[in-house]
Structure 1
């Protein structure tokens, strides 16, 4: 019975080298760039005009948004690295423990949510949808793949440091 798994085609693993993954990668990296541009430009100006409650919420949500996008970008970069032969599947699994694809949700019923700029709320919504797609793909590739289970991230005490390390690994920097 164990030998029958040797001939099994693992579709979930192959999806990261497909055209649909390339589209997801482009969408994810595009959203990162678009969000950075918004937060550094139009969003910065819009945030200054917000009422106090909305201003506090904007600051908190922009941190969640950038963290969410950084986590997804790290995951996408890892998948691209394995596809390009820059990292082995085992190296990706080891680095992937630093990536967190859950959490960073937002409370749309929070006081001030409706006062946030529409463009900002749109970026948050799009990032949440993208996060759900990436998390589903991650689950299909790593958690539903027989013996290839990836341990959950045991601690997120220093997730920024972990993300910097992950990005350095993906780009081959020091």
Structure 2
């Protein structure tokens, strides 16, 4: 599920390619989570003890919430890169990565293996984006309009090559 680049190092910079790669990873994870929790997970949930069933339902909501926060943040990064939002707007609290509740390891260990993998993958992706989001708060220079235009041109070139 998750063999992707870890963008948390000090040399990591949020670029259109990084945002696109993370967005693809998030959408694949969202599709896997939906397929699991809507189908196979329903059958596996029935095999659990009553307390574990409640935990399973809570964890499925936590996975969904993490993924929603991830996708919203990535779309905000795209909007900043394309110039739809000014970089300074991206630092406002409502533009930051939303808070997602962490999973309780004591509950997760009771879940089926597939559920545990999805919980872990969503937590890992969220943690990587959280480090990127926090890195934006450092005293980094605000992106110039010319840099935003260059990012938009780069994105257009990438999209046109794939079409």
Report if TM-score (shorter chain) is over 0.5.
yes
RCO higher in structure (CA 8 A, sep ≥6): 2
1:108-144 deviation per Cα after TM superposition (whole angstroms, max 9, x unaligned): 123xx43311111100001111111100111112x11
Q: Secondary structure at the match of 1:53?
A: helix
Whole-Å Cα distance in 1 between the matches of residues 46 and 82 of structure 2? 43
Whole-Å Cα distance in 2 between the matches of residues 43 and 77 of structure 1? 29
Structure 1: state its 5+ residue gaps. 1-10, 149-174
1:42 matched residue in structure 2: 40
1:139 matched residue in structure 2: 134
Assess if the C-alpha contact under 8 Å between 1:78 and 1:96 holds in 2.
yes
Q: Provide the aligned C-alpha RMSD in A.
A: 2.3
Report whether the alignment pairs 1:82 with 2:104: no
Pair 1:37–1:84, CA change in 2 (3 A): farther
Q: Moved runs in structure 1, 4+ residues, more than 2 A?
A: 15-22, 84-95, 145-148
Query: Quick one: which of 105, 112, 116 aligns to 1:108?
Result: 105
State how many pairs are aligned: 131
Task: Give the TM-score taking structure 2 as reference length.
Answer: 0.69
Alignment of 1:17-166 (within 5 A): 17-94=15-92, 95-97=94-96, 99-101=97-99, 103-110=100-107, 113-141=108-136, 143-146=137-140
